[in-house]
Amino acid sequence: MSMKCWEKVSDQEYKDLINKQVVLLKFLIILGLPSMERRCLVLTQGQTHPTPAKLAAALLRYKPESVIALLDPENAGRDAFALLQVGKGIPIVASLKDALLLRPDTLVLGITPSGGQLPENWRQIILQAISAGLNIVSGLHSFLNDDPEFATAAQRYHVQLVDLRKPPDDLTVNTCRARHTKTLRIHTVGTDCNCGKKVTAIEIDRALRASGRNSVFVATGQSGILVSGRGIALDRVVADFVAGAAERLVLENTEYDYLCLEGQGAIIHPLYSGVTLSMLHGFMPQALILCHQPDRTIMRGTPDIPVPPLEEMIRLYEQITAPVYPARVIGIALNLMAFPENVVSDMIHATEEKTGLPVTDVIRAGAGKLVDAILEFEKKLKADEQS
């Protein structure tokens, strides 16, 4: 039920309601409606590109039936696919006024600015959307529900503010219990941030389920939560509790045989390595899939720190997991979106020759090789356990 249908509540009741919500419930209220009823307008505001607009791209790739348009005055009149390589046929409109003609019921903030803070020039757009009766879904670090102006407007117009990055209030430190579960924990890790870890985990999960396996994608960031409806944004968790939050995600999914665990950052990235290491300790994965974007030579967000060779990153990930719970890199997922189709096969083959591991681009060549590697790795694990 939309909050438009709710009776007016007091300020304290509204605050209590927001605080009690879990990510899954919030998602179901906003986007978990039948496809015919979801009508999302996605704000990209001059940044309709796969890197800054990764939340928009994820929604268009995996929930396109939920999106009616993108809002971006600089690219109005164009098709979303031309800029994001997903969302064919979804228009880009110039203003909220134009978008309202398409009858949206939700505004999704489709980009995450540097630092995850709210750009001030979005404030009026969001307030106008609220006054038009639109729910707001945000992946920002700054929470809409903590902003008095937004909270007051939301209550006045009976709409819902959804902060995808808001973590649960009852997180704890890691207790090292993930290793005792019977799940096969497959964790996507990277040579850099924003290089395809979420998409790789989703595509592996989809391929496993298509083959009849009991698998689940486990989201650890705002985009993954948006498309899956559950998870914890681990980059918003207090540092001491990140490993514990990762462990919790494993323990909450023990009914599945395969957990496809979305990665964040990179183990040597000077901005995000703390989250990456805590996730490795909390998830205690057996298998790692290393994600890499070959056209990157400098780590994103840094002035001059180079992306190390694949062989070095493989060694680093395996060495750093060894003292707590040893993990093996069993495959590589290349992100070749910047390269023409005629070189994809050669680049995959060359990387296989260099590393001796199965390699693919999960979007352009499918996740089949990685699934085969996972199943072969599982056989070896079981054989080792029996010997």
DSSP-H helix ranges across the chain: 11-20, 23-30, 54-62, 80-84, 96-100, 123-131, 148-157, 197-210, 222-228, 242-251, 273-283, 310-321, 341-355, 368-386
Class of domain 3-163 (CATH, top level)? alpha beta
Q: Is the pLDDT of residue 21 over 70?
A: no
Two tokens, residue 285: 């994965």
Class of domain 178-386 (CATH, top level)? alpha beta
Q: Fold identical between 3-163 and 178-386? A: yes
Q: What is the pLDDT of residue 20?
A: 37
Q: Do 259 and 216 touch, CB atoms closer than 8 A?
A: yes
Selection from 184, 191, 193, 171 nearest residue 218 by Cα: 184
Q: Is the pLDDT of residue 7 over 90?
A: no
Query: pLDDT (tens digit, 9 = 90+) per residue, 110-156?
Result: 987 766 788 888 999 999 999 999 999 999 999 999 999 999 999 99
Which neighbouring-strand residues pair with 222? none
Compute φ and ψ for 80, nearest 5 degrees. -55, -35
- Burial bucket for residue 77 (CB in 10 Å: 0-12, 13-18, 19+): exposed
- Burial bucket for residue 281 (CB in 10 Å: 0-12, 13-18, 19+): buried
Region 210-225: mean pLDDT is 97
Q: Is the pLDDT of residue 366 over 60?
A: yes
Q: What is the pTM for the complete model shown? A: 0.90
Q: What is the pLDDT of residue 114?
A: 66
Q: Is the pLDDT of residue 34 over 60?
A: no
Compare 93 and 36 and report the one with higher pLDDT.
93
Region 211-215: mean pLDDT is 98
Q: What is the pLDDT of residue 117?
A: 84
Q: How far apart are CA 194 and CA 22, in angstroms?
A: 26
Domain residue limits, the chain: 3-163, 178-386
Region 260-275: mean pLDDT is 97
Q: What is the pLDDT of residue 147?
A: 96
Share of the chain above pLDDT 90, in %: 85
Q: How far apart are CA 170 and CA 180, in angstroms?
A: 22
Q: How far apart are CA 337 and CA 301, in angstroms?
A: 19
